[in-house]
Structure 1
Amino acid sequence: MSKKIKVAVAGAGGRMGREVVKMVLADEALELVAAVDRSGAGSDAGELAGLKPCGIETVADLDAALSSAKPDVLVDFTVPSVVYANTVTAIKHGVRPVVGATGFTPQQIEELDGMCREAEIGGLIAPNFSVGAILMMQFAAKAAEYLPHVEIIEYHGDQKLDAPSGTSIKTAELIAQGREKLKQGNPNEEEILPGARGGEYEGFRIHSVRLPGVFAQQEVIFGGYGQSLKIRHDSYERAGYMPGVNIGIKKVTEYTGMVYGFEHLM
Structure 2
Amino acid sequence: MSIRVCLAGATGWAGSALAQGIAQTNDLSLVAAVSRSHAGQQLGIVLNQPKLDCSVFATAEEALSQPCDVFVEYTKPAVALNNVLQALAQGSHVVIGTSGLDDAAYAIIHEAALKAQRGVLAVGNFALTVVLLQKFATIAARYIPYSEIIDYASDKKIDAPSGTARELAYRLGQVRDSAQTVPTEEIVGDQATRGARMAEQQVHSVRLPGYVISIEAIFGMPDQKLILRHEAGNGAEPYVDGALLAIRKVNTFVGLKRGLEHVLDLD
TM-score norm. by structure 2 comes to 0.90
Partner deviation per Cα, 1:83-133 (whole Å, 9 max, x = no partner): 000001101111111111133333432332232222222221111212210
Q: Where does structure 1 lack aligned partners over 5 or more consecutive residues?
A: none
Change in 2 beyond 3 A, CA 1:202/1:109: closer
CA contact (8 A) 1:44 1:53 kept: no
Task: Select which of 58, 61, 66 maps to 1:60.
Answer: 58
What root-mean-square deviation, in Å, do the aligned CA atoms of Structure 1 and Structure 2 show?
A: 2.0
**Residue 201 in 1 paired to residue 198 in 2?**
yes
Q: Deviations over 1:43-92 (max 9, x none)?
A: 3212323434632221213222211x201111111000000000011011
Greater shift, 111-120 or 30-39, is seen at 111-120
Write the letter of the residue equivalent to 2:252: E
Name the CA shift for 1:180/1:102 in 2 (closer, same or farther; >3 Å): closer
Residue 11 of structure 2, aligned match among 2, 7, 13: 13
Q: How does 1:2-81 map to 2 (within 5 A)?
A: 3-52=1-50, 54-67=52-65, 69-81=66-78
What amino acid does structure 2 have at the position aligned with 1:21? A
What does 1:1-266 correspond to in 2, within 5 Å? 3-52=1-50, 54-67=52-65, 69-179=66-176, 182-185=179-182, 188-192=186-190, 195-201=192-198, 204-236=201-233, 237-266=235-264
After superposition, what is the alpha-carbon deviation per residue over 1:173-208, rounded to whole angstroms, capped at 9, x for unaligned? 22223236633447753235x632221236542111
Label 1:72 to 1:200 Cα distance change in 2 as closer, same or farther (>3 A): same
1:7 is paired with a residue whose SS is strand
For residues 248 and 97 of structure 1, do their structure 2 counterparts lie closer, same or farther at Cα, with a shift above 3 Å needed?
Answer: same
3-state SS of paired residue (1:196): helix
Report the CA distance shift for 1:172/1:159 in structure 2 as closer, same or farther (over 3 A): same
CA 1:184–1:82 in 2, change beyond 3 Å: closer, same or farther?
farther
Q: TM-score, normalised by structure 1?
A: 0.91
1:172 counterpart SS class:
helix
Q: Structure 2: where are the runs of 5+ without partners?
A: none
Give the whole-Å Cα distance in 1 for the aligned partners of 2:75 and 2:111.
Answer: 23
- 1:139 positional shift: 0.8
